[in-house]
A and B are shown apart, each in its own frame.
Chain A
């Protein structure tokens, strides 16, 4: 046995081994036909090697002819496999070329069995035996070539063109490695295969070694497929790693959720089922095994907060916005717990809300701290209010004295009229009417005073800012007259309502007006004017009602613009320096802003803005004083410059509020 036998056998064995491996792979993974195709290719390559070896050892012309006839079968299989592999696996090569090659090769196979002895030879005259490459004696045919054999050569040429074209496509696609390995080996193999016609035509004198040309391609294909297998293995390892990561993240999440006392939940909207983690069940006081749906959840929420929570849910379902709500939960033992819920809606492919996912957290402690802070803030505000009332006591006494004075004089006048004997009923009626109206006025002063002195919960009313301005001007009327300060008002009409505590907002405005009066106390009388404006401001898409108090006193140094709002900062000899800082906390508690600016010419302006109330919620708006009923506070000291439309454009004269005398 010489090297020729060994090499050809090894070639066949290698091909068969690969075929066996990939057949096994295909069995495990049937969805990928590439492996089966390769397996068939490798078997065909092995068969060609076997045929070639037998042909070299052929003793007679008959034997050789038969072998040469039958070798066309594995060659046909191989060519078809190559073309399929290029088309299916590399996704390259022209379709018409592929079909032409397959058709032509099939024609070659048929013709091969039509002609005798085969397609390549018209007849083989003899076999030439010689020793090749130092190996054993081999046989080479000698005879007349069959002109139909050219068809085989044409198919080989087409195959070469097909390979070149496919390689270029793959290369251009950016897959240079695959183009080099698979495409290169295929082109090389197809060129090498050209020795067959040359041997048949008697141009060269060597044994056929087609199996090598083709097994090279098979090796390249095997390399390519193994590369994919390796890649898949890598992916699977990474997948495993990421699964581990995922599990770890999940565990971390659970740990964090448990540490933060987060109750994770999911609401399947179609089935109306709520899944809630055990932590969450404990938050709401649900039993661990209890079946939860929306109604059960609703029953746990405090009755006063149900509306709010369900509006938030509805809003989220409608707009897809994040769900956010803070509400109280009534626990089975009667305790109250504050919960903050957040969640997100997930929509199905039809755009319908499918489920909501989110988390709930216990915010009772935070709420308690907030309540404490609010209470302290209110106490502070109350203290400041009481102090301010002390300062205004003279003015308030005056406000009370006026109606009392009118009542007393009227009553004594009535006594005298009765004593005189000449009773004028009309006059007595007028007197009594005035006594009643003045008594009411005094009661109003006292009522307002009591509100101011009252220490209680912050009220959340819907109110009109213009009413707050008027109330404040009534309260300060005497003080303004006393200080000879004229207040000009530009109150915008039809302002939207706001939500807030009327007394606290009055307090802020009183502070600002009193400060402004102090700022102009040294000015000459014509300069003792204040301007109070109300209006509406649109910023970043949200609207706010604004109030500004402008004085013509000194300006505030730029570096003190913020400092003035700090506690205990004061420029007044007797001031505590709490007024503006309390004002700022009050306005901040109303979700508004308080700031100061210097006027272009002289003096400063203090502004505050308050978010407008949503039109669909809140208590009915307190609108006891319509703008047109602006009598009590005018009294000559307050002048209304006519109504201003909310956008700040002044209304034509006469349409607003004239100075009214009483």
Chain B
């Protein structure tokens, strides 16, 4: 199982349900890992692995909602599809509020489940892609010197070189050099492109 192969994790305390869902997903071509409890799952949880989590709501000890909370705290990107035996509205609302990918009622139809799993994996893929891009931008930002970073912030705010020089108490020529370094380090051709990147990282101009 590599980080690139999507894996469906199943956590359900009731063995026949756990086994049957595993079989179904396996037959549909997914890699499957099943666990009898939230604790068992957490014990070997690897945030690097791509996929989604099919989670039973009602379980002894740690239940589904508590596991969702723990994963969120840990910054996991794993989308969660909840399975419940009862249509418990308050619980489903709570789960969806906390970012559940889907909330299905048992007995679940295979198409519904597979659609939810596909969607969740897609979501995970997109999230991971986004995450990867962000990391890239962050990495580029990290190469800037503090002065270059200051210049960047003024540039994305639409300030002219003269204004920046005035604000920084330096000459326009120096600002030009910093600006060229920033464009190079951030691997962008235009200011518009730079603005798009920095906005994704939540950096706003001064």
Query: Which B residues, 49 to 63, have Cβ-Cβ distances below 8 Å to chain A?
Result: 58-61, 63
Range for the number of chain B residues in contact with chain A? 20 to 34
Q: Report the minimal beta-carbon distance from A86 to chain B, rounded to whole angstroms.
A: 104
A410 at the interface (CB under 8 A from B): yes
Q: B14 — nearest CB in chain A belongs to which residue?
A: A402
A402 and B17 contact, Cβ closer than 8 Å, known pairs A408-B109, A410-B23: yes
B90 at the interface (CB under 8 A from A): no
Query: Which A residues, 385 to 426, have Cβ-Cβ distances below 8 Å to chain B?
Result: 394, 397-398, 401-410, 412-413, 415-417, 420
Q: Report the minimal beta-carbon distance from B132 to chain A, rounded to whole angstroms.
A: 33
List B contacts of A431 (CB < 8 A). Answer: 20, 23
Q: B60 — nearest CB in chain A belongs to which residue?
A: A636
A266 at the interface (CB under 8 A from B): no
Q: Which residue of the partner chain, among B14, B19, B27, B86, contacts A420 with CB atoms under 8 Å?
A: B27
Q: Which residue of the partner chain, among A403, A409, A427, A636, contacts B110 with CB atoms under 8 Å?
A: A409
A406, B23: Cβ atoms closer than 8 Å: no
A478 at the interface (CB under 8 A from B): yes
B85, A478: Cβ atoms closer than 8 Å: yes
A57 at the interface (CB under 8 A from B): no
Q: B20 — nearest CB in chain A belongs to which residue?
A: A409
Cα of A394 to Cα of B110 in the assembled complex, Å? 24
A401, B36: Cβ atoms closer than 8 Å: no
Cα of A655 to Cα of B19 in the assembled complex, Å? 31
Q: Report the minimal beta-carbon distance from A432 to chain B, rounded to whole angstroms.
A: 12
B82-106 interface code vs A (CB 8 A; 1 in, 0 out): 0001101000000000000000001
Cα of A405 to Cα of B17 in the assembled complex, Å? 6
A-B contact pairs, 7 of them (CB 8 A): A397-B85, A401-B85, A406-B16, A413-B20, A481-B59, A481-B60, A637-B60
List A contacts of B107 (CB < 8 A). Answer: 401, 404-405, 407-409
Range for the number of chain A residues in contact with chain B? 20 to 34
List A contacts of B19 (CB < 8 A). Answer: 406, 410, 434
List B contacts of A401 (CB < 8 A). Answer: 85-86, 106-107
List B contacts of A406 (CB < 8 A). Answer: 14, 16-17, 19-20
A272 at the interface (CB under 8 A from B): no
Q: Nearest 10 A-B pairs (CB), nearest first?
A: A409-B20, A416-B27, A406-B16, A636-B60, A398-B85, A413-B23, A412-B110, A405-B107, A405-B106, A413-B24
B13 at the interface (CB under 8 A from A): yes
List A contacts of B115 (CB < 8 A). Answer: none
A416, B24: Cβ atoms closer than 8 Å: yes
Q: Report the minimal beta-carbon distance from B3 to chain A, rounded to whole angstroms.
A: 26
Cα of A410 to Cα of B19 in the assembled complex, Å? 8
Query: Which A residues, 577 to 595, have Cβ-Cβ distances below 8 Å to chain B?
Result: none
A558 at the interface (CB under 8 A from B): no
List A contacts of B36 (CB < 8 A). Answer: 661
Query: Which A residues, 446 to 490, have Cβ-Cβ distances below 8 Å to chain B?
Result: 478, 481-482, 484, 486
A437 at the interface (CB under 8 A from B): yes
B141-159 interface code vs A (CB 8 A; 1 in, 0 out): 0000000000000000000
A635 at the interface (CB under 8 A from B): yes
Cα of A369 to Cα of B136 in the assembled complex, Å? 88
Q: Report the minimal beta-carbon distance from B89 to chain A, rounded to whole angstroms.
A: 12
B5-49 interface code vs A (CB 8 A; 1 in, 0 out): 000000001111101110110111000000011000000000000
B17, A416: Cβ atoms closer than 8 Å: no
B108 at the interface (CB under 8 A from A): yes
Extra contacts, 17 of them, besides A406-B14, A481-B59, A636-B37 (Cβ < 8 A), are A398-B58, A401-B107, A405-B20, A405-B108, A408-B107, A410-B19, A413-B110, A415-B110, A416-B27, A416-B110, A417-B27, A431-B23, A437-B16, A438-B16, A478-B58, A636-B60, A662-B15
